[in-house]
Amino acid sequence: MAVVRPKGSALARSVPVRRLHLDTSHCAGHNKWSKVKHIKGPRDEARAKMFMKYGMMIRIAVKEGGPNPDFNATLAQILEQCRGHNMPKASIDAAIKNAEKAKTGTQHTYEARGPGGFALLIEVLTDNNTRTNQEIKHLLKTNGGVLSDGARHTFDRKGVVVAEAGSVSLEEALELAIEAGAEDVRETEEEEERPMLQFICSQAELSSVRAWLEGRGGIHVVSSGLEFVSHTPLLLERSQLEAASVLLEALNDCPDVLRVWDNIQAEH
Protein backbone atom coordinates (compact mmCIF):
# COMPACT_ATOMS: atom_id res chain seq x y z
CA MET A 1 0.00 0.00 0.00
CA ALA A 2 1.29 2.93 -0.90
CA VAL A 3 1.33 5.08 1.73
CA VAL A 4 3.19 8.20 0.78
CA ARG A 5 5.89 9.82 2.12
CA PRO A 6 6.42 12.36 4.91
CA LYS A 7 9.04 15.07 4.91
CA GLY A 8 10.96 17.35 7.20
CA SER A 9 13.98 19.62 7.56
CA ALA A 10 16.68 19.01 4.99
CA LEU A 11 20.44 18.88 4.97
CA ALA A 12 21.30 20.72 1.77
CA ARG A 13 24.52 20.08 -0.05
CA SER A 14 25.95 22.05 -2.98
CA VAL A 15 27.15 20.33 -6.13
CA PRO A 16 28.44 21.82 -9.40
CA VAL A 17 25.15 21.49 -11.30
CA ARG A 18 22.34 21.12 -8.77
CA ARG A 19 21.44 21.24 -5.13
CA LEU A 20 20.18 17.96 -3.77
CA HIS A 21 18.52 17.63 -0.40
CA LEU A 22 19.16 14.66 1.85
CA ASP A 23 16.26 14.62 4.25
CA THR A 24 16.64 12.09 7.02
CA SER A 25 13.19 12.88 8.33
CA HIS A 26 11.50 11.90 5.05
CA CYS A 27 11.00 8.44 6.48
CA ALA A 28 7.94 6.45 5.54
CA GLY A 29 5.90 3.76 7.19
CA HIS A 30 7.41 2.24 10.30
CA ASN A 31 9.70 5.13 11.21
CA LYS A 32 7.09 7.83 11.57
CA TRP A 33 4.96 5.57 13.77
CA SER A 34 7.85 4.61 16.06
CA LYS A 35 6.25 6.38 19.05
CA VAL A 36 2.72 5.25 18.29
CA LYS A 37 1.17 2.06 19.62
CA HIS A 38 1.53 -0.70 17.04
CA ILE A 39 -2.03 -1.25 15.82
CA LYS A 40 -1.53 -3.44 12.76
CA GLY A 41 -2.85 -6.99 12.72
CA PRO A 42 -0.79 -10.15 12.45
CA ARG A 43 1.87 -10.01 9.74
CA ASP A 44 0.32 -12.80 7.68
CA GLU A 45 -2.98 -10.92 7.59
CA ALA A 46 -1.24 -7.70 6.59
CA ARG A 47 0.62 -9.47 3.79
CA ALA A 48 -2.60 -11.05 2.54
CA LYS A 49 -4.19 -7.60 2.33
CA MET A 50 -1.14 -6.24 0.52
CA PHE A 51 -1.28 -9.06 -2.03
CA MET A 52 -4.99 -8.40 -2.55
CA LYS A 53 -4.22 -4.75 -3.33
CA TYR A 54 -1.52 -5.77 -5.79
CA GLY A 55 -4.02 -8.12 -7.45
CA MET A 56 -6.36 -5.16 -7.93
CA MET A 57 -3.53 -3.07 -9.40
CA ILE A 58 -2.63 -5.89 -11.80
CA ARG A 59 -6.27 -6.02 -12.88
CA ILE A 60 -6.27 -2.30 -13.70
CA ALA A 61 -2.99 -2.50 -15.61
CA VAL A 62 -4.11 -5.50 -17.69
CA LYS A 63 -7.43 -3.84 -18.50
CA GLU A 64 -5.64 -0.71 -19.69
CA GLY A 65 -2.62 -2.15 -21.49
CA GLY A 66 -2.96 -5.89 -21.94
CA PRO A 67 -1.47 -8.92 -20.13
CA ASN A 68 2.04 -8.84 -21.63
CA PRO A 69 4.43 -6.82 -19.43
CA ASP A 70 6.84 -6.50 -22.36
CA PHE A 71 4.30 -4.17 -23.99
CA ASN A 72 2.72 -2.78 -20.82
CA ALA A 73 5.14 -0.69 -18.78
CA THR A 74 2.65 -0.10 -15.97
CA LEU A 75 2.04 -3.82 -15.56
CA ALA A 76 5.79 -4.48 -15.63
CA GLN A 77 6.35 -2.01 -12.78
CA ILE A 78 3.56 -3.53 -10.69
CA LEU A 79 4.84 -7.08 -11.24
CA GLU A 80 8.28 -5.93 -10.17
CA GLN A 81 6.82 -4.55 -6.94
CA CYS A 82 4.93 -7.80 -6.39
CA ARG A 83 8.11 -9.83 -6.72
CA GLY A 84 9.98 -7.37 -4.51
CA HIS A 85 7.40 -8.05 -1.78
CA ASN A 86 7.61 -11.82 -2.34
CA MET A 87 4.09 -12.19 -3.72
CA PRO A 88 3.75 -15.85 -4.82
CA LYS A 89 4.17 -16.39 -8.56
CA ALA A 90 0.96 -18.44 -8.63
CA SER A 91 -0.96 -15.48 -7.21
CA ILE A 92 0.58 -13.11 -9.75
CA ASP A 93 -0.22 -15.44 -12.65
CA ALA A 94 -3.80 -15.92 -11.41
CA ALA A 95 -4.32 -12.17 -11.11
CA ILE A 96 -3.16 -11.64 -14.71
CA LYS A 97 -5.24 -14.55 -16.01
CA ASN A 98 -8.40 -13.45 -14.23
CA ALA A 99 -8.01 -9.74 -15.01
CA GLU A 100 -9.64 -9.88 -18.43
CA LYS A 101 -12.66 -11.76 -17.04
CA ALA A 102 -13.12 -9.44 -14.08
CA LYS A 103 -15.72 -6.71 -13.94
CA THR A 104 -14.62 -3.34 -15.19
CA GLY A 105 -14.22 -1.08 -12.18
CA THR A 106 -13.87 2.67 -11.79
CA GLN A 107 -10.58 4.02 -10.49
CA HIS A 108 -10.37 7.45 -8.94
CA THR A 109 -8.73 9.38 -6.11
CA TYR A 110 -10.34 11.11 -3.13
CA GLU A 111 -8.76 14.21 -1.60
CA ALA A 112 -9.10 14.49 2.18
CA ARG A 113 -7.73 15.90 5.43
CA GLY A 114 -7.05 13.90 8.57
CA PRO A 115 -6.65 14.71 12.29
CA GLY A 116 -4.42 17.74 12.71
CA GLY A 117 -5.05 18.78 9.10
CA PHE A 118 -2.67 16.44 7.30
CA ALA A 119 -3.38 15.85 3.60
CA LEU A 120 -4.58 12.54 2.18
CA LEU A 121 -4.93 11.07 -1.29
CA ILE A 122 -7.02 7.90 -1.31
CA GLU A 123 -6.90 5.88 -4.53
CA VAL A 124 -9.79 3.45 -4.99
CA LEU A 125 -11.00 0.85 -7.46
CA THR A 126 -14.70 0.07 -7.27
CA ASP A 127 -17.59 -1.48 -9.17
CA ASN A 128 -20.06 0.54 -7.09
CA ASN A 129 -19.28 4.24 -6.79
CA THR A 130 -22.14 4.94 -4.39
CA ARG A 131 -21.07 2.22 -1.96
CA THR A 132 -17.42 3.26 -2.02
CA ASN A 133 -18.23 6.95 -1.67
CA GLN A 134 -20.36 6.25 1.40
CA GLU A 135 -17.70 3.99 2.89
CA ILE A 136 -14.88 6.51 2.43
CA LYS A 137 -17.00 9.30 3.92
CA HIS A 138 -17.93 7.07 6.87
CA LEU A 139 -14.32 6.07 7.56
CA LEU A 140 -13.19 9.69 7.44
CA LYS A 141 -16.04 10.97 9.61
CA THR A 142 -15.63 8.33 12.31
CA ASN A 143 -11.84 8.77 12.45
CA GLY A 144 -11.46 12.56 12.47
CA GLY A 145 -11.13 13.14 8.74
CA VAL A 146 -13.08 14.94 6.03
CA LEU A 147 -13.12 15.16 2.24
CA SER A 148 -11.19 18.25 1.17
CA ASP A 149 -10.73 19.62 -2.34
CA GLY A 150 -7.22 20.92 -2.86
CA ALA A 151 -5.36 18.28 -0.85
CA ARG A 152 -3.81 17.06 -4.12
CA HIS A 153 -1.86 20.33 -4.37
CA THR A 154 0.23 19.11 -1.42
CA PHE A 155 1.72 16.39 -3.63
CA ASP A 156 3.77 16.10 -6.81
CA ARG A 157 3.84 13.10 -9.11
CA LYS A 158 7.40 11.80 -9.00
CA GLY A 159 9.49 8.85 -10.01
CA VAL A 160 10.53 6.69 -7.04
CA VAL A 161 13.28 4.08 -7.19
CA VAL A 162 13.31 1.76 -4.16
CA ALA A 163 16.56 -0.02 -3.33
CA GLU A 164 17.90 -2.12 -0.48
CA ALA A 165 19.99 -0.01 1.86
CA GLY A 166 22.32 -2.82 2.83
CA SER A 167 25.48 -1.28 4.23
CA VAL A 168 25.01 2.01 2.34
CA SER A 169 25.08 4.98 4.72
CA LEU A 170 22.94 8.07 4.24
CA GLU A 171 26.02 10.04 3.21
CA GLU A 172 26.86 7.41 0.59
CA ALA A 173 23.24 7.37 -0.55
CA LEU A 174 23.44 11.12 -1.06
CA GLU A 175 26.50 10.73 -3.28
CA LEU A 176 24.73 8.01 -5.28
CA ALA A 177 21.64 10.19 -5.69
CA ILE A 178 23.71 13.12 -6.96
CA GLU A 179 25.51 10.95 -9.49
CA ALA A 180 22.29 9.24 -10.60
CA GLY A 181 20.50 12.54 -11.19
CA ALA A 182 17.92 12.12 -8.40
CA GLU A 183 16.34 15.06 -6.58
CA ASP A 184 16.10 13.52 -3.13
CA VAL A 185 16.91 10.37 -1.17
CA ARG A 186 14.96 9.02 1.78
CA GLU A 187 15.45 6.32 4.34
CA THR A 188 12.52 3.99 4.96
CA GLU A 189 11.56 0.41 5.81
CA GLU A 190 9.40 -2.11 3.99
CA GLU A 191 6.89 -4.52 5.47
CA GLU A 192 9.54 -6.91 6.81
CA GLU A 193 11.29 -3.91 8.43
CA ARG A 194 14.31 -4.18 6.13
CA PRO A 195 16.06 -0.80 5.69
CA MET A 196 15.39 0.65 2.24
CA LEU A 197 16.29 3.77 0.29
CA GLN A 198 13.93 5.77 -1.88
CA PHE A 199 15.52 7.81 -4.66
CA ILE A 200 13.11 10.54 -5.78
CA CYS A 201 13.36 11.99 -9.29
CA SER A 202 11.31 13.59 -12.03
CA GLN A 203 8.99 11.32 -13.98
CA ALA A 204 11.11 11.76 -17.12
CA GLU A 205 14.31 10.65 -15.35
CA LEU A 206 12.91 7.54 -13.67
CA SER A 207 14.44 5.05 -16.14
CA SER A 208 17.85 6.74 -16.26
CA VAL A 209 18.09 7.07 -12.46
CA ARG A 210 17.22 3.43 -12.02
CA ALA A 211 19.68 2.31 -14.71
CA TRP A 212 22.51 4.30 -13.13
CA LEU A 213 21.82 2.97 -9.62
CA GLU A 214 21.69 -0.63 -10.83
CA GLY A 215 24.74 -0.27 -13.06
CA ARG A 216 27.34 2.18 -11.86
CA GLY A 217 25.75 2.56 -8.42
CA GLY A 218 25.99 -1.16 -7.75
CA ILE A 219 22.97 -1.37 -5.43
CA HIS A 220 20.03 -3.76 -5.55
CA VAL A 221 16.92 -2.01 -6.88
CA VAL A 222 13.70 -3.59 -5.65
CA SER A 223 11.22 -1.59 -7.72
CA SER A 224 10.54 1.69 -9.45
CA GLY A 225 7.42 3.57 -10.44
CA LEU A 226 5.42 6.76 -10.13
CA GLU A 227 4.19 7.92 -6.72
CA PHE A 228 2.56 10.96 -5.18
CA VAL A 229 5.27 12.65 -3.12
CA SER A 230 4.40 15.43 -0.69
CA HIS A 231 6.26 18.73 -0.89
CA THR A 232 4.51 20.23 2.17
CA PRO A 233 5.28 18.16 5.30
CA LEU A 234 3.20 18.43 8.44
CA LEU A 235 4.47 17.47 11.88
CA LEU A 236 1.66 16.23 14.13
CA GLU A 237 1.40 16.20 17.89
CA ARG A 238 1.48 12.83 19.61
CA SER A 239 -2.30 12.56 20.03
CA GLN A 240 -2.87 13.63 16.42
CA LEU A 241 -0.32 11.10 15.20
CA GLU A 242 -2.11 8.33 17.06
CA ALA A 243 -5.45 9.39 15.55
CA ALA A 244 -3.85 9.56 12.10
CA SER A 245 -2.52 6.03 12.54
CA VAL A 246 -6.02 4.73 13.29
CA LEU A 247 -7.51 6.55 10.28
CA LEU A 248 -4.86 5.30 7.85
CA GLU A 249 -5.25 1.76 9.15
CA ALA A 250 -9.02 1.92 8.62
CA LEU A 251 -8.63 3.26 5.08
CA ASN A 252 -6.08 0.64 4.13
CA ASP A 253 -8.39 -2.07 5.45
CA CYS A 254 -11.17 -0.94 3.09
CA PRO A 255 -11.39 -3.51 0.25
CA ASP A 256 -11.92 -0.82 -2.40
CA VAL A 257 -8.85 1.21 -1.41
CA LEU A 258 -5.74 0.61 -3.50
CA ARG A 259 -3.27 3.06 -1.99
CA VAL A 260 -3.19 5.95 0.47
CA TRP A 261 -0.69 8.81 0.47
CA ASP A 262 -0.14 11.31 3.28
CA ASN A 263 2.11 14.26 4.09
CA ILE A 264 2.79 13.42 7.73
CA GLN A 265 6.31 14.31 8.77
CA ALA A 266 8.34 11.67 10.54
CA GLU A 267 9.19 12.22 14.19
CA HIS A 268 12.84 12.74 15.00
For the chain, list the domains and their CATH numbers: 1-35+105-268 (3.30.70.980), 43-99 (1.10.10.200)
What percent of the chain has pLDDT above 90? 43
Pairing of strands 19-22, 184-189: parallel
Q: Which amino acid is it at 83? A: R
Q: CA–CA separation, 266 vs 247, rounded Å?
A: 17
Q: Are the CB atoms for 264 and 241 separated by under 8 Å?
A: yes
Q: CA–CA separation, 190 vs 50, rounded Å?
A: 12
212-236 pLDDT tens trace? 999 998 899 988 888 999 999 899 9
Q: Which residue has the higher pLDDT, 142 or 167?
A: 142
Q: What is the pLDDT of residue 35?
A: 52
Residues in contact with 133: Cβ distance below 8 Å, sequence separation at least 6, in sequence order: none
For the residues 73-98, what does the mean pLDDT come to?
A: 87
31-84 pLDDT tens trace? 565 555 544 445 667 778 788 888 888 888 888 888 898 998 888 888 988 887
Q: CA–CA separation, 6 vs 184, rounded Å?
A: 13
Q: CA–CA separation, 200 vs 219, rounded Å?
A: 15
